[in-house]
Amino acid sequence: MSPRAQLLAFSDIVGLVNPNGLYLVGYAWLFGMSLWISFFGGVIAFKALPRHQFGALQHKTFPIYFVLSIVLSGGLLSLWTFTHPDVVPHIANPRVADVAQAYALATVFFAQAFNYFFIGPMTSKTMFQRQKLEKEEGKVYSDPGVSAEMKSLNRRFGMLHGISSLANLGAVIALGFHGLWIGNAGLRSY
């Protein structure tokens, strides 16, 4: 064994559970989940499932994703603010690095809260209205000659889905920025 090798004792393992360790695990969970949901899981499900089953899966998956994002980003923001004393006195100055990181975490929190409480439910409601109208009309929403009501639902769904996607993308970008920051500067306060 080399002289630099560190032997682990039980106390070393217990000592890993500290604010910095918990912060990094929470960040990794949030960023990994966000990347998976946004760029991989949905694409795989879209390709593998019939459209109505895909919609039902998204309807069940996204509220859980948004709640976890809200809880994790809120916890990270609280811990960041508590461990970085420059945040509160300089909160109006995003050029202060610690404040910029708090803004990034707040962006995630508010984007996903907006999705969970407003846009998500409206999108799901519109999706189910469109599916019901498809059955009534005997046409798929994208068929030529659908009713004016279907066209209206299509526009509404597209708009809501686009807003939700942009809010989610903003959250992912903010998380990427924060990850690059902590990867280079660490979690230190001063």
What's the pLDDT at 147? 96
CB-CB neighbours of 5 under 10 Å: 6
Residue 1 has pLDDT above 80, yes or no: no
pLDDT at 124: 97
What is the rounded distance in angstroms from the CA atom of residue 117 to the CA atom of residue 61? 15
Alpha-carbon gap, residue 42 to 154, rounded angstroms: 20
Distance CA 76, CA 71 (A): 9
Listed in sequence order, the residues at least 6 apart from 146 whose beta carbon sits closer than 8 Å to its beta carbon are: 137, 139, 154
Whether 181 contacts 23, CB under 8 Å: no
Residue 49 has pLDDT above 90, yes or no: yes
How far, in Å, CA of 73 to CA of 172, rounded? 11
**What is the percentage of the chain residues whose pLDDT exceeds 70?**
99
Phi and psi torsions of 2, nearest 5°: -70, 155
Q: What is the pLDDT of residue 138?
A: 94
Q: What is the pLDDT of residues 91-124, one digit of tens each?
A: 999 999 999 999 999 999 999 999 999 999 999 9
Q: pLDDT-based confidence at 188, cuts 50/70/90?
A: confident
pLDDT of residue 190: 66
3-class SS shares of the chain: helix, strand, coil, % to 5: 80, 0, 20
Q: Is the pLDDT of residue 43 over 80?
A: yes
What does the pLDDT average to over 126-152?
95
R_g over Cα of the chain: 22
Q: For 77-94, what is the mean pLDDT? A: 97
The proportion of the chain whose per-residue pLDDT surpasses 90, expressed as a percent, equals: 95
**Mean pLDDT for the stretch of residues 132-141:** 95
How many degrees, rounded to 5, is the angle at CA 157 between CA 156 and CA 162? 100
Mean pLDDT of 75-91: 97
Q: Mean pLDDT, to the nearest integer, of 14-25? A: 94
